[in-house]
Structure 1
Amino acid sequence: MRAHMRHDAMAFAEDLPDDDLAVVTGGATLDTPAGRLSLTIHHSMAPLEAGWRELEADSWNSLHQSYDWCCAWVKTHGNPLVLVEGRLDGQMALLLPLEIERSFLLRRAQLIGSPFTNFNSGLFSAPFRRAAADIAPHDLEALFVEALRDHVDLLSLTHVPLDWRGERHPLAALPHIRNQNASFQLPLAATMEESIAPLNAKSRRKKYRTQIRKLEAAGGYDHIRPTQAGEQRALLETFFQQKAARFAAVGLPNVFQPPETQAFFRMLIESDRGGSDVPLELHAIRLKGEHDGKIAAIAGLSRKGDHVICQFGSIDDSLVADASPGELLFWLMIERSALTGAAVFDFGIGDQDYKRRWCNTQTEHHDILLPIRPAGRFAAMTHRGMTRTKTLIKGNPHLYALIQRWRAMGTSGQPPAKSDD
């Protein structure tokens, strides 16, 4: 099937004056076996909200591309937007909420908020997901290149599972490379006992009872999930403090330090619309007794339908460390998720020991890299080279540990403390 393209030459979106940001700036069309697919480029979220929310309601689509998540990031970071709207025979079929990241002379289009997303899908309708397999890969590439060529140099969609919940990603035919990191999940059953049965359940139950006994001996604890705005903000500030101390202890830069990043998370906890999908909710272990009122562990969860994702976590090493309050908090959150109908507890991307102890499922992630202009070809080649190098390093535990020590000593001048956070 040959592509039939329509293209409107326009200036780069970030060069437009502010009052023109809502202007549609071109696109392209393609005749497919399922009908005519048209892509249109927008630079403002508001005109797309109704269709956006309709697409995000599909349980297959990631919460990280939801309107509220993206809106919080856009308001706190202000990067230029290139929102790709796709319609199949006039019906909204896809939405890629992209922002432009500048690096020297390169303009990279990435999914909004990519530095803090664990699972990216974009937004696609079920009919388009079924139809996408019949679109010739060359035609799909040409369609996106034509639509984006006056806006960016590279389309870079990172942390994308190409196979998710029994469906192939509709953009899987675009050029991609396997990301060096997988994500880790625990499938949930109706009860905690059923959920941990595939794991070393006996050992896990024993550890849980030991944690409870140690905390009770220290005066007890509460598992809290604040719902009042003031309590949520206070707990989030405690998380920022704990995480800063933790990064300093292991000699790594604090990715939560930038004011715009902290503002983003503050906005997320205030954007809960009261439905079944939750952008961010906070859980914590609050101690009683000699440490009354102190917070030993914190975690932030998001929920999209029956998919729960852990966004972040922190612990206070100075409080009952031998009771492993972080591990206990995971038990309590997983148990609650199972009892409230969740099917998957997702620990997010990145290989860490505690995730392997909890999870029996790994999901491969890929980075989709489509050069749009000549500069994008070099950037895609560089990205692929770096990814292959990181994969090689992470595949060698001794080399990876050595590089981690060098990195930590280069940051702090001291050997890193052992970390399982």
Structure 2
Amino acid sequence: MNIAFRMSPPTVPAQHLAPIELAQIEVFDEFESAVQAWTELAACDSVASPYQSRDWVRLWQAHVIPHAGGRLFIVVGRDAAGTPLFLWPFVRGNLGPLRVASFVGGKHATINMPLWRRDVANSWAVSDLRNALRSVAAHVPDLDLFILCNQPLAWHGARNPFALLPHFRSTEDNFVLPLGMPGAQVVEREISTTMRGRLRNKERKLSKLAGYRYVRARTAAEVTAQLDAFFRQKAAKLTAMGVKNVFAEPGIEDFVRAACRDGLAEGNALVELHVLEGDGEMLALFSGIHDGRRFTSNFNSHTLTDHARFSPGLILMQHMIVNAADRGFQSFDVGPGAARYKSFFCKELEPLFDSVVPLSRRGRLVAWPLRLLRAAKSEIKRNPALWAVASRVRRWLRPTPPAES
């Protein structure tokens, strides 16, 4: 199957606005202390990717940080009138002897832009951002580095100011599908008549299964049953692949369950679950999080039984796209990564970048080699031949479990 990719616009043109001057920096290590600033920013024309939402950070603090050994670290910038200009939610931790801050959510947060007032994001120059970073360093002198991954160059028409600093391409890009029309029209626009026919034939075969349906979880009982099946499926698949199960890390399962229940009773779950099921089996599951404009798919799984030959994952994704478009979302993405299914519908590449931002003298000494190492990893992963070699070496080095007697 040949896929033609469309590149997203790399950034938003500078609008030559007068920069809004930063007058004050506040640093909080408790979620509740930053809620008022979060509320004020959310009420104005501001932008942030969904993984920087209040509820995501609140639940991560409650369920994961106590096990991971880090600390919440929230930076708020204000103007002379005390009005918040931005809010950066991070987690502090250690990288060897270094003290670093990174985005909340780790690998589970697939696209990261912290909360900015739109006019600030579009008007700040690199000097404004460096001034803010110097203020952060003065407030927290023991912090060495920001290590910031999977950042978009722009979000909903606002520039990402962190792109003004030295950065390098993330190991993987994002795949995006513009919506802006009824779901059926989106599918017709993106998928050929022949391929739509093949998917219809496959779904027709699945529909013969008892109880076959597509469902978006709306009750706590549905969430519990679907996540029970997901964690079983995912563990079995990752074990078979010899890959570490990130969902087995302390606190992660509790976090996922809480995020899928949060807001569910009001019809607006923080993390939505979309499922294809039949014959008493979960055929496929995709989760998603949104900010009201972009619907971002997160974790997923599909059956390992013979039903997998009917492509339940692709069929489920088509249902999700129709659902998202009909609900008025402007775009849909499947998250970073080069899996074939991601480019089946989502053909627009959204470049992502990483940053290593030094704050201390020690941070400045290691920033350049860290950038070099991470950039090299990105280049290796983007080169199929090099990545194949690296994957083989990694498998050779992986410990072999002792044979059972």
Q: TM-score, normalised by structure 2?
A: 0.86
Distance 1:157 1:237, change over 3 A: same
Task: Give the superposition deviation at 1:400.
Answer: 1.6
- Does 129-138 or 46-55 show the bigger shift? 129-138
Taking a change above 3 Å as real, the CA distance of residues 94 and 391 of structure 1, as seen in their structure-2 partners, is same
Cα distance, 1:309–1:412 mapped onto 2, change above 3 Å? farther
In structure 1, the gaps of 5 or more residues are 1-31, 415-421
Please tell me whether residue 132 in structure 1 is matched to residue 109 in structure 2.
Answer: no
Q: Indicate which of 99, 122, 135 corresponds to 2:91.
A: 99
Aligned equivalents of 1:274, 1:378: Cα separation in 2: 50
Question: Compared with structure 1, are the counterparts of its residues 254 and 356 closer, same or farther at alpha carbon in structure 2 (3 Å cutoff)?
Answer: same
Q: Tell whether the 8 Å contact from 1:223 to 1:285 is kept in structure 2 after alignment.
A: yes
- Per-residue deviation, 1:183: 0.8
Unmatched runs of 5 consecutive residues or more in structure 2: 1-17
Matching of residue 374 in structure 1 with residue 361 in structure 2: yes
Residue equivalent to 1:346:
333
- Structure-to-structure mapping, 1:69-218, within 5 angstroms: 69-76=56-63, 77-78=65-66, 79-89=70-80, 90-133=82-125, 135-136=127-128, 138-148=130-140, 150-218=141-209
Aligned length: 378
- Computed over aligned residues only, the root mean square deviation of the Cα atoms, in angstroms, reads 2.4
1:1-400 aligned at under 5 Å gives the runs 34-56=20-42, 60-76=47-63, 77-78=65-66, 79-89=70-80, 90-133=82-125, 135-136=127-128, 138-148=130-140, 150-219=141-210, 221-272=212-263, 278-287=269-278, 292-400=279-387
Deviating more after overlay: 305-314 vs 218-227:
218-227
Shift, 1:219, TM fit: 4.5
Q: Deviations over 1:349-373 (max 9, x none)?
A: 1222111222121111112221112
Cα 1:137/1:45, change in 2 over 3 Å: closer
Q: CA deviation at 1:131?
A: 3.2
**Greater CA drift, 249-258 or 65-74:** 249-258
Q: CA deviation at 1:393?
A: 1.5
Distance 1:54 1:332 in 2: 36
Specify whether residues 84 and 406 from structure 1 end up closer, same or farther in structure 2 by C-alpha distance, changes over 3 A only: same
1:405, distance to aligned residue in structure 2 (A): 3.9
SS at 2:87 equivalent:
strand
Contact residue 171 and residue 377 of structure 2 kept, 8 A: yes
Check whether the contact 1:276–1:305 (CA below 8 A) recurs between aligned residues: no
Map of 1:419 onto structure 2: none
* Range moving further from structure 2, 251-260 or 239-248: 251-260
Cα displacement (A) at 1:92: 0.8
Name the CA distance, whole Å, in 2 between partners of 1:261 and 1:333.
Answer: 25
**Which piece of structure 1 moves more, 134-143 or 336-345?**
134-143
TM-score after normalising by structure 1: 0.83
Q: Is the 8 A contact 1:119 1:160 kept in 2?
A: yes
Distance 1:140 1:47 in 2: 20
Q: Aligned partners of 1:409 and 1:229: how far apart in 2? A: 43
**C-alpha distance 408-285 of structure 1, shift in aligned 2 (>3 A):** farther
Is residue 148–residue 355 contact of structure 2 (8 Å, CA) maintained in 1?
yes
- What CA distance in whole angstroms lies between the structure 1 residues aligned with 2:385 and 2:268? 41
Is residue 282–residue 298 contact of structure 1 (8 Å, CA) maintained in 2? yes
**Which SS does the other structure have where 2:315 is aligned?**
helix
Match of 2:8 in 1: none
**Secondary structure of the equivalent of 1:353?**
coil
- The farther-off stretch of 69-78 and 270-279 is 270-279
Identity of aligned residues (%): 29
Question: How far apart are residue 139 of structure 1 and its match?
Answer: 3.3
What is the SS of the residue equivalent to 2:110? coil
Q: Which amino acid aligns with 2:164?
A: A
Task: Please give the alpha-carbon distance, in whole angstroms, between the structure 1 residues aligned to 2:272 and 2:22.
Answer: 41
